[in-house]
Amino acid sequence: MSAGSRAPLQLAILISGRGSNMAAIARACLDGRINARVNVVISDRPGVAGLTTASSLGIDAQTISWQSARDREVFERELSVAIDAHHPDLIVLAGFMRILSPRFAERYAGRMLNIHPSLLPKYRGLHTHRRALEAMDTEHGASVHFVTAELDGGPVVLQSTVPVRPGDTESALSARVQATEHVIYPRVIELLAEGRLAWKEGRVWLDGKVLDAPLVEDPSVHARN
Ligand code: GAR
């Protein structure tokens, strides 16, 4: 199939808060920069800003409350039902702050992405900016990776790098990293939508070759920050 005749990639985006990555992806879809469509945005927390943003962009915005679910199994069952009702090709975790069970990860193996605010495998988990500052790193960044059962451990597709500047605070560094997230996440979805990126037999393939090391985004995208 040629790129022009490909059906748009159908997305379900999962959020927990502000949703700036979700908005960057949704705008790229609406502007026609990527051949994809956001079918639904689902938050595990009610009333978050990202839900309002999604609705204002004309996207179905739902809450599957973590707090109201009896346990993780019940939560994940409800979440799967909500996701599957929209028949997505790809599930996009965008600031979704719940740890998912191996079972859930396996259910969507090869069709679930996450963005993490560090240069994985460095700093899995929380407080990545603080940890980069404490370690006196001179470089920091973000990673887009396929989700596997291992927390923040799936194969990385694309990373952005930013300098850590003298006197940086956690919030200054976080803002610098986030500006690059809004570039690299749509870019990876675009690669999938174009059929250039694929997951086969537990490995990531780009343009017909196994991707052994992450791609690194052009540093000029963050030159202004
Ligand atoms: C992003 O910086 C993302 O990398 C991070 O949460 C932020 C969400 O911002 N995700 C994680 O820490 C996941 N472990 P957003 O809601 O404005 O997109």
pLDDT digits (tens, 9 = 90+) for 202-225: 899 999 999 999 999 865 555 444
What tens digit of pLDDT does each residue of 55-103 get?
A: 999 999 999 999 998 899 999 999 999 999 999 999 999 999 999 999 9
> From CA 202, how far away is CA 199, in angstroms rounded?
6
Query: Which residue type, as a one-letter code, is found at position 124?
Result: R
**DSSP of 80-103:** HHHHHTT--SEEEESS---PPPHH
- The pTM of the full predicted model, rounded to 2 decimals, is 0.95
Ligand 1 contacts (CB < 6 A) are 15, 17-21, 50, 94-95, 115-117, 142, 178, 181
Q: How far apart are CA 120 and CA 165, in angstroms?
A: 20
Distance from the CA of 107 to the center of ligand 1, in angstroms?
23
Average of per-residue pLDDT across 41-54: 98
Report the CATH number at residue 210: 3.40.50.170
Residue bearing tokens 């990202």: 50
Residue 1 falls inside a structural domain: no
Residue-level pLDDT at 224: 45
> Is residue 26 in some structural domain?
yes
For residues 19 and 104, state if they share a domain.
yes
- 126 with 60, same domain: the answer is no
Residues 146 and 206 in one domain: yes
| Ligand 1 centroid from CA 74, angstroms | 24
Co-location of 120 and 225 in the same domain: yes
**Which atom number of ligand 1 is nearest to the Cα of residue 22?**
18
